[in-house]
Homo-oligomer: A and B are copies of this chain.
Amino acid sequence: MKTKLKQVTGAVLAAGLGLAVTSSAFAAESLQDVMKRRNLSQQDLLAAAKTYTPSGKRDEFIAFSSGGQSGQIIVYGVPSMRILKYLAVFTPEPWQGYGFDEESKAVLAQGRIDGKDITWGDTHHPAISETEGQYDGQFLFINDKANPRLAVVDLRDFETKQIVVNPIYKSEHGGAFVTPNADYVIEAAQYPAPLANQKFVPLEEFNESYRGGVTYWKFDRQEGRIKPEESFSVELPPYSQDLSDAGKGPSDGWSFTNSFCSERYVGGIEKGRPPYEAGCSAKDTDYMQMINWKKAAELVKAGKATQVNGHNLITIDTAVKEGILFLIPEPKSPHGVDVTPDGKFMIVSGKLDTHVSVYSFEKIMGLIKAGKYESKDPYGIPVLSMKDSLHTQVELGLGPLHTQYDSKKCVAYTSLYVDSQVAKWDFCEGKVLDKLSVHYNIGHLFSMEGDSVNPQGKYLIALNKLSIDRFNPVGPLHPQNHQLIDISNDKMQLLYDMPLPLGEPHYAVGISADKLKPAVRYKVGTNSRTDSVHEGKTRAGQERIERDGNQVKVYATLIRSHITPETIEVEKGDEVTIYLTNLERAQDETHGFTVSTFNTHASIEPGKTVSVKFTADKEGVYPYYCTEFCSALHLEMQGYLLVKPKGYVAKGGSLAASDYTEDDYKKTLKKVADTQAVIDSVVGYIVGVNYKDFPDVVAMMDDAVDQLNRTKEAKAKSDAAAAKQDWEQANLWAEQVWQYQVKAADLGLRAKTYLEQNGAKPIK
């Protein structure tokens, strides 16, 4: 072990010399050789240098992408484009125990619709919580289009905490979008339907009885939860609602929601009618729907909302009467409506028009104040003049879809779906600055903090829906392709293609990494889904099995490398709940837990308590084990669930064990002494440097000391057994001392390497 330490030290020192590539013994191939072999251009090398992130270096931004039909959220680093986590939201995911432990099942149960489990979601638009229009990195919201729901993720632990079901829609697309202080989370309907639940209305009554709307979910930042009873919706005509955005700065208090199929066309290709795609895109314009949500919230407080399915609804009539709802024509079949960072303009992309349209909030307010309406729509909503509302229109190309902003004033980026291009343009002057081809059929795009009041520039990411020839083939179902673009300079430069291995992301947001400060451990006994102390919290020494009738409750703990208890005996038919507390404090020392064939799994991060529950409905012997490779002896982190026949009476007998001799015991003692010497040497190094300046090392040391403290009790048992010449017990408890040592040594070695690589300095 000491030899090894020297080797590590040697290697680390050698790496630190910064030898030139051509002269280093590591590099049999020169950079030129590699470029030639791999057919890389100078331009490629520059791109590589801009995205490649060496071991241990961090990313500058973190992206949160919808996971599409996977029902999850994808977290990745920018510019390395490495996916860090698939965060479970609407779909059960066993690695995280999501939908397999009782705590997360309770979250998923909030998302039941009409009394039934919905085990997936079509996630579309994530939004990061904002403070004064700036991303604050505290919470993340995401919608489910297929089953109109919204989820709240806490970025302190990257876990889904809440799911709310929209009480009046049958589908939704245009959410989540937050108001500038995350007071409300905006969610718009998509396909019109009757708002009353489980209400059948024939399509012939589409115009009269089908409706859309926009919902404003009240968010309580202190509790980190949405308050359904304080939330409300504004009813809209049966125009299919699309994306939304909240106003900011001068336009704060208003929200903007696109629509398509304002033709209110009802298809029926099987009956000889032209399909929706023809009838829904026949007219040149649809409507931008403007809502004064601040005033709407006041109307709700003033009791002017009606109740639909127990939910506050401001009807179209009320909204018109109170002057909080307006329409403005916009180029047909638009997708994005994106408020500029200064809050002065709303930029709309009509997918079937070659222009982006820049609406002036000031002009619009002027029209409203002057009462200048061009007309009313069939539902009596005032329609403002498009021409009089526009600041400018710019011809960008085919299929403009979504716009994001740069840190540079007036600079915007718009995706062009049909052209498969990104256009960089100036929305103040109304001119195109640059174009870049991407592959293929870009949907959304996002720049870093690009829809906040303070975009960060630097990077833009194109979310391309097809990948076709971009990657090695993996069967008929292809990944999507997120392309990283450098926007630091006048000309955009394509840097990197990232395949998306799961789901079809729609929209993403990127935040400065330094705004995220997630925890690495929980306070011992935390129920992470309720942020409270878990009823099953168990400390070392408190492990127990309690029975009440056929209800069996097991209070268990996990620590490298054993589960306590190691045997659980129940009778057939018992309902078993196992509470699991992870006693570790070291970062990343997660344990997993499953009982074979009982379809349950838990992920128990340091400090967490979770529970798994099942009915022991079959006799037999079922191993349980830690499903994480948590130490060299993780396979031995095991136990047995014994399901006995009802009324089984034990026959007695003793547990088999091998014969151990005094020699075995002495050999183990020698091993323990040798290992202690190694530990002492490592500890000697660590305390000889400024390790206290490294919080990660302090955490590892805490845990190592914890492991070493446990040797005392094991040693006492070993000594006592030796005194009685019980060599089996003496030897095995000495072995257990060694097990604790090994884990402490492992932590110590990791800490030492960390210190060496992070420039720890000797203390005097």
Contacts and interface: CB of A to CB of B under 8 A. Distances in A.
A69 B47 CA distance: 35
Output the residue of A190, A278, A476 with the most chain B CB within 10 A.
A476
Given A69-B94, A565-B270, A478 B26 contact: no
A183 interface: no
Label chain A's interface by main secondary structure.
Answer: loop
The 3 closest A-B pairs by CB, nearest first: A158-B475, A48-B52, A204-B653
Given A193-B623, A204-B656, 10 more contacts: A45-B49, A47-B52, A56-B497, A82-B498, A94-B119, A170-B621, A173-B635, A242-B635, A418-B745, A465-B630
A119 B503 CA distance: 19
A17 to B, nearest CB: 10
Contact of A632 (B74, B352, B753): B352
Interface string A64-75: 000111110011
Contacts of A136: none
B50 A34 contact: yes
Contacts of A439: 55-56
Contact of A566 (B171, B276, B618): B276
A100 B69 CA distance: 11
A87 B474 CA distance: 10
Interface stretch (A1-9, A227-235, A311-319): A1-9
Given A82-B499, A95-B68, A397-B4, A518 B475 contact: yes
Given A55-B483, A620-B199, A475 B159 contact: yes
B620 A198 contact: yes
A522 B419 CA distance: 28
A477 B263 contact: no
Interface string A32-76: 001100111111111111111111111100100001111100111
A126 interface: no
Given A623-B191, A655-B204, A750 B420 contact: yes
A294 B627 CA distance: 33
10 contacts: A8-B419, A18-B43, A21-B42, A26-B489, A69-B95, A210-B621, A282-B658, A333-B635, A420-B753, A473-B520
Contacts of A282: 658, 660, 664, 668, 731-732, 735
Interface string A114-133: 10111111100000000000
A556 B359 CA distance: 42
A230 B637 CA distance: 35
A347 interface: no
A266 interface: yes
A276 B637 contact: yes
Contacts of A276: 562, 566, 636-639
Contacts of A370: none
A468 B638 CA distance: 25
B656 A264 contact: yes
B468 A499 contact: no
A197 interface: yes
A479 B84 contact: yes
Contact of A437 (B11, B41, B618, B738): B11
Given A120-B601, A282-B660, A470 B56 contact: yes
Contacts of A478: 587-588, 590
Contact of A476 (B265, B516, B519, B651): B519
A189 B121 CA distance: 37
B749 A419 contact: yes
Contacts of A763: none
A471 interface: yes
Interface stretch (A336-344, A405-413, A573-581, A640-648): A640-648
